[in-house]
């Protein structure tokens, strides 16, 4: 089994336990589109509002009952491991210096999740990163959650729970989260060809980054997946795409072409995906989270209104 057990703490929150309780979080990518911010720090550790992006991802997974979480990491990513360690010295210092109110900011350290880490030793794409989890996952169904994407304001989304339910009820090999995007943006995403309508639909095909005119729909893959371990065999058989990367989308396509069932679950209107992979999306996400901050949001809003010359009533 790759990686080493990390911190394990606290009892599970009641009523949240799912049958699928293992998640793989790929965080090995270089994040070149966010240079220079990502030159010496992982993009997954960039803050959105008060927290690093990957903390929202872990909190979302812990909330729906994930018990074991494997990070697929790479060079320069150790700050992610450090972030999820228990830090008794810091807790002690906050107590001794009378900053007890800040202790709640460290509550995430006590999430009932056991952390594991393995390295993607060559950056051969997202599909390859998932393949690195094979011996850890074994024969269990599992979740994949991209470490650079938050689902829902404050990560308040239960889409993974809905996906796990769909996976179990429909005997699927893959369940993928989708959100509608403007047609001009399909070139950035894996896009579904749905076989049916509705919030949960059967996927007839998925195409990675299609041209605008060739996209079968405007339903874009949204950073969350539930897989049967069959996906590993499909990944092994998936040749690298033009850019030399093994695409997770291509492996899902193989599963479908070989007769496996795959379903899409749409994100709800109140659970947008914040993918911070490029500067524009990162800025937008930060502004939205800052505006939604319970303590500072109102002041930031007034400041922005002043900057933008919005007349005050």
Binding residues for ligand UTP, per CB under 6 A? 26-33, 44, 72, 120, 123-126, 128-129, 146-148, 277
- Which CB sits closer to ligand UTP, 144 or 194? 144
CA distance 48 to 288: 9
* Closest distance to ligand UTP from the beta carbon of 176 (Å): 15
* Closest distance to ligand UTP from the beta carbon of 246 (Å): 8
CA distance 132 to 24: 10
- Which CB sits closer to ligand UTP, 128 or 224? 128
- Which CB sits closer to ligand UTP, 152 or 277? 277
**Phi, psi (5° rounding) for residue 123?**
-80, 85
CA distance 40 to 259: 44
- Which CB sits closer to ligand UTP, 118 or 228? 118
Given the DSSP bridges, would you call strands 68-73 and 114-119 parallel, antiparallel or unpaired? Answer: parallel
Residue listed under structure tokens 């947008």? 272
* Closest distance to ligand UTP from the beta carbon of 28 (Å): 3
* Closest distance to ligand UTP from the beta carbon of 106 (Å): 24
Asked if 246 and 120 touch (Cβ cutoff 8 Å), the reply is no
> Angle formed by the axes of helices 279-291 and 297-307, to 10°?
120
DSSP annotation of 159? H
Angle, CA of 166, 171 and 174, to the nearest 5°: 70
Beta-carbon contacts of 8 under 8 Å, excluding residues fewer than 6 positions away, are 112, 113, 114
- Which CB sits closer to ligand UTP, 21 or 44? 44
**Phi, psi (5° rounding) for residue 177?**
-80, 140
* Closest distance to ligand UTP from the beta carbon of 32 (Å): 3
* Rg, the chain, Cα only: 20
- Which CB sits closer to ligand UTP, 145 or 165? 145
Q: Which of 72, 88, 89 is nearest to 7 (CA)?
A: 88
* Closest distance to ligand UTP from the beta carbon of 223 (Å): 8
Q: How many CB atoms lie within 10 A of CB 35?
A: 11
* Closest distance to ligand UTP from the beta carbon of 310 (Å): 34
- Which CB sits closer to ligand UTP, 93 or 122? 122
- Which CB sits closer to ligand UTP, 129 or 150? 129
* Closest distance to ligand UTP from the beta carbon of 2 (Å): 14
| Closest chain position to ligand UTP (CB) | 29
CA distance 133 to 210: 28
């Amino acid at each position: 089994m790759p990686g080493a057990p990390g911190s394990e703490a606290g009892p599970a929150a009641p009523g949240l336990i799912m049958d699928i309780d293992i998640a793989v979080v790929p965080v090995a990518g270089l994040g070149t589109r966010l240079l220079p911010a990502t030159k010496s720090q992982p993009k997954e550790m960039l803050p959105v509002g008060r927290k690093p992006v990957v903390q929202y991802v872990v909190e979302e997974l812990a909330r729906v009952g994930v018990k074991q979480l494997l990070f697929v990491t790479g060079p320069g990513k150790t700050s992610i491991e450090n972030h999820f360690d228990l830090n008794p010295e810091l807790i002690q210092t906050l107590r001794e210096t009378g900053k007890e109110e800040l202790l709640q900011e460290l509550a995430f350290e006590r999430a009932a999740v056991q952390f594991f880490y393995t390295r993607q030793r060559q950056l051969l794409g997202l599909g390859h990163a998932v393949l690195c989890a094979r011996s850890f996952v074994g024969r269990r169904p599992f979740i994949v959650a991209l470490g650079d994407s938050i689902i829902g304001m404050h990560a308040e989304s239960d889409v993974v729970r809905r996906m796990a339910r769909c996976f179990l009820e429909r005997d699927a090999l893959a369940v993928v989260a989708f959100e509608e995007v403007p047609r001009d943006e399909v070139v950035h995403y894996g896009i579904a060809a749905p076989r049916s309508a509705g919030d949960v639909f059967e996927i007839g095909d998925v195409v990675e980054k299609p041209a605008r005119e060739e996209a079968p729909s405007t339903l874009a893959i949204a950073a969350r997946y539930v897989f049967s371990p069959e996906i590993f065999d499909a990944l092994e058989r998936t040749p690298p795409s033009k850019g030399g990367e093994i695409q997770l989308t291509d492996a899902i396509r193989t599963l479908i072409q070989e007769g496996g069932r795959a379903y899409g679950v749409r994100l709800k209107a109140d659970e947008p995906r914040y993918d911070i992979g490029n500067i524009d999306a990162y800025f937008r996400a930060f502004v939205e989270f800052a505006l939604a901050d319970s303590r500072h949001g109102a002041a930031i809003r007034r400041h922005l209104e002043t900057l933008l010359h919005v007349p005050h009533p």
